[in-house]
Amino acid sequence: MDKMIRQKEAAYGGMQRQGELSQELKGVLHDHEGWHKLTGGQQEALDMIMHKVSRIVCGDNLYIDSWRDIAGYAQVIVNALETTVGASDASVKRIVRTKDGWRYDD
């Protein structure tokens, strides 16, 4: 058990320090007026993302799995929104300069 705790602390930082940052980050979100418009799934995904962010900041920022987890939680929400009536998506276009001026590059 001690070996596992040491390995986790090396990857994520000490539980006390990491937990304090995680709770602080989540508290900022929970206190915001927009928090209550989110679905339970969106709230949980953001809580988990803040948890992972605190692990990265307090622990090993080169531990790829923490970054992959953030992307995974976000992707779960993207997948849900793609089938949600009323959800929107931005179309990002690149603006390029030509000899005649500016234009959108499709």
The per-residue pLDDT string of the chain (106 residues; one tens digit each, 9 = 90 and over) reads: 989 888 888 888 889 999 999 999 999 999 999 999 999 999 999 999 999 999 999 999 999 999 999 999 999 999 999 888 888 887 666 777 788 888 777 6
pTM: 0.80
Q: What is the pLDDT of residue 89?
A: 80
Please give the full DSSP string across 47-59, using - where no structure is assigned: HHHHHHHHHHHHS
Contact 60, 10 (CB under 8 A): yes
Q: What are the residue ranges of helices labelled H in the chain? A: 2-12, 15-31, 40-58, 64-81
Q: What is the pLDDT of residue 85?
A: 85
Q: What is the pLDDT of residue 5?
A: 86
Contact 52, 70 (CB under 8 A): yes
d(C-alpha 64, C-alpha 69), whole Å: 9
What does the block give as tokens for 48? 């988990």
